[in-house]
């Protein structure tokens, strides 16, 4: 697809900021300060937490639970599954959210592609699901906040991806044109399908990418295997 984009909207977690590694590292810090039975290893704890967190976030995106329920239940459900008692779920969540944005690991090529796009005068934005107090700190601590004209966080907009509302809000607020906009993300449902349903082309950073042919294009989706593959599109 030979097409000119001017407005590039990035997802944050696992697209630019390495959520998988950073969340693991943050949880290790918090885990050290709680009294856990010896037979419950950190990896066992983290796997259980990750599963519950994923399910609760899915429900939260569908507006089935509140933010407070999500942040409490992801730890409470983990404690119950593993038979852990005497640990306050809400306090552990506070400790975790305090440590999380301190982590600075970015995906390979993140700084390189942001510099490349900025030097070519693309207008750069973030559209992210998450909590305002955490997402903003992630951008600052990892040193990439200065690349973006505006940051759109689902908690602020009161509507998470993949809903039309957050994409519409971002397009209008940034004075962007849908036909000149590209959404870059790692989640097929929230980033790619959400953008496509609203009428924005997408670049999918995912497993469907063909390593031998970095860029594939079909149905207004660019499949990329690394962030630097965006240089072949933009």
Given pLDDT bands bounded at 50, 70 and 90, which one contains residue 217?
low
pLDDT digits (tens, 9 = 90+) for 33-57: 887 777 889 999 999 999 999 999 9
- pTM for this entry: 0.91
Question: Cα–Cα distance between 101 and 103 in angstroms, integer?
Answer: 5
Calculate what percentage of the chain has a pLDDT beyond 70: 93
Residue 81 scores a pLDDT above 70: yes
**pLDDT per position as a tens digit, 11-25:** 999 999 999 999 999
Count the Cβ atoms, other than its own, within 10 Å of residue 59: 14
Higher-confidence position of 210 and 82? 82
Q: What does the mean pLDDT of the chain come to?
A: 91
Reported confidence tier of residue 207, pLDDT bands at 50, 70, 90: low
pLDDT of 148: 98
| Mean pLDDT value of segment 108-114 | 97
pLDDT at 208: 54
Q: Walk across the sheet containing 181-185 and list its strands.
A: 150-153, 123-128, 7-10, 181-185, 201-205, 221-224, 216-218
Cα of 73 vs its chain's centroid, Å:
20
The residue to which tokens 């490349």 are assigned: 116
Band (219; pLDDT cuts 50, 70, 90): low
Structural element, H or E, at residue 134: helix 132-141
């Amino acid at each position: 697809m030979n097409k000119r984009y001017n407005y590039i909207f990035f997802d944050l977690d696992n697209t630019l900021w390495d959520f998988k590694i950073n969340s693991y590292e943050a949880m290790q810090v918090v885990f050290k300060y709680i009294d856990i039975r010896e037979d419950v290893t950190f990896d066992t704890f983290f796997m259980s937490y990750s599963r519950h967190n994923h399910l609760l976030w899915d429900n939260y995106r569908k507006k089935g639970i509140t933010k407070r329920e999500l942040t409490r239940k992801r730890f409470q459900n983990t404690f119950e599954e593993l038979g852990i008692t005497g640990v306050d779920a809400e306090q552990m969540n506070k400790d975790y959210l305090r440590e999380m944005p301190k982590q600075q690991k970015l995906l390979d090529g993140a700084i390189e592609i942001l510099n490349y796009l900025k030097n070519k005068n693309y207008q750069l934005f973030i559209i992210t699901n998450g909590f305002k107090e955490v997402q903003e700190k992630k951008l600052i601590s990892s040193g990439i906040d200065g690349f973006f004209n505006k940051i759109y966080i689902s908690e602020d907009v009161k509507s998470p991806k993949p809903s039309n509302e957050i994409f519409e809000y971002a397009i209008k607020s940034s004075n962007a044109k849908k036909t000149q906009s590209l959404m870059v993300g790692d989640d097929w449902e929230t980033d790619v399908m959400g953008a496509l349903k609203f009428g924005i082309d997408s670049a999918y950073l995912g497993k469907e990418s063909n390593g031998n042919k970095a860029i594939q294009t079909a149905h207004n989706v660019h499949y990329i295997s690394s962030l630097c593959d965006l240089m072949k599109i933009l």
